[in-house]
Amino acid sequence: MELCGVQTLRRSSPNFKTLHLVRHAQGIHNVEIEKGELTALSGKLFDAHLSLTGIQQVSDMRKEISKSGLLNTVQLVITSPLRRAMQTSVGIFRGQEDMNQSDIFPKVNNSPPIVALEICRERMIESDEDAEWQAEEREDMEEVSARGLHFLKWLWERPEKDIAVVSHGIFLQQTLRALHEKVGTPVEENHLKRFANCELRSIRLEKSAVTWKHIH
């Protein structure tokens, strides 16, 4: 878990948007893949819930963002619709009594709205049960990057200026790389590296520095 860059992004301006990007906390799939017992394409792991370690990561992250003041500034939370991302987003930004015992997370006062979007889900694969998927093949990185840029364009057109995004490591990393390499927006080198579970990285996008001319 890491809170990266939050303290430096407190300035508010109509020409800026601040995005707080969070990879979901550890899921049971992370544990099983690390043990070598299942692969990332296993259907049993596709919509994995959080592990006990992941639950603790969410609890720790909520304490960190409450302490930093970030919880008071976020106006909107966008999450992948997969269970591990939704559990992470609700646990961090809405609070919870006991994530290990229940999937119900009571709201807290002044909590931001949470919206689940298909476009920011895990690197897509194909399945007989999902029209978005294709016969055991994953999107290549170019496709993930393109999806990430379309997502950022959609975010840029939102009225909110301070937005949290809870998604998946590859999607977040490829989105930042595409923003830097294809759109030409400066992104710090340490922000382009792989995300750890429940790591948060904050970036500020300046209107004059972002051009969407290459996104169709």
Active site residue 122: yes
Strand extents, DSSP E, 149-207: 162-167, 199-206
Q: How far apart are CA 203 and CA 193, in angstroms?
A: 14
**Nearest CA to 165 among 24, 64, 18, 22?**
22
The active-site residue, picked from 24, 29, 168, 191, is 24
The active-site residue, picked from 32, 122, 139, 199, is 122
Active site residue 29: no
The 10 Å CB-count burial string (b at 16+, else e) for 62-96 is: bebbeebebbebbebbbbbebbbbbbbbbbbbbbb
As annotated, the active-site residues are 24, 122
